Amino acid sequence: MHRIARGSAVLTVLVAVGLGTPAAALAVAERSPKPERGPEPQVAVIGTGGTIAGVSKSRVSFQSYESGQLPVSRLVEDLRPEVNRLADVTTRQFGNKDSNAYSLPEYRRLTTAVDDALRTNDAVVVTTGTDTMEEFAYWLDLTVRSDKPVVLTGALRPWTVIGSDGPANLYNAIRLAAGGRTTCFGTVVMLNDQIQAAREVRKADALRLNAFTSGSSGELGVVDQNQIRQAFDAGAAGSPGPRAPLPA
């Protein structure tokens, strides 16, 4: 009996039952059907504008730019090869302006847009400006009734400057949403690799990339490349439970 490779149980068995040579065993293995992957998570990205969709005067105009200029479809397309490995990602343009330019009726329409998207998707990412991101997040935390993940993200630097935090924040927000790790957590904010609860997060700096903090409550977790590290997982003791349904 020929042992093809250390730990290669399949090829060892194939040779043992009479296929004769390692080459023959490899040929059979190559013809064997690959295991089917499960369905990809469906993530909707809803764009509302803000710095993340901003266009700078030059590639080094970190603070001189016009926010809300790029459509969210452009942002996702710039990341398309990478996000395609995470989920089936679709986009919807809700608006494209500064976050502090939205009115309360528009907040309500945003809730409707998120609720509608969650009926056919596994999670939603909302891109928005950071000036009122904590208010946006808290509003959605109070009004969206689904248990599915809702992740807000944005940027402190416009999309078009070197070293922009926008692409990394959007990619990590989609990764977090697609992973389903914040199911039943309500709305969360994901910037600078940090996962923050909507009820606790505050903007503490207008310029630095680590602008958001949850104070003494602490962050919910972090996204470290391929790992999502949380203080506790959904369903663990002490984690938030499902939301009560709206009254009929």
Task: Write out the catalytic residue numbers.
Answer: 51
* Per-residue tokens: 246: 């709206």
**CA separation for the pair 43, 1 (Å, rounded):** 49
φ, ψ for residue 181, nearest 5 deg = -75, -15
CB 163 within 8 A of CB 113: no
Alpha helices per DSSP H over the chain: 9-14, 22-31, 72-78, 80-83, 104-120, 133-143, 166-179
Neighbouring residues of 51: CB distance < 8 A, sequence distance ≥ 6: 65, 67, 129, 130, 154, 155, 156, 157, 158, 166
Report the distance separating Cα 134 and Cα 32, nearest Å. 52
Q: Cβ distance 191 to 214 under 8 Å? A: no
Q: Where are the beta strands (DSSP E) in 122-207?
A: 123-127, 150-153, 187-191, 194-197, 202-203
**Of 175, 154, 163, whose CA–CA distance to 224 is shortest?**
175
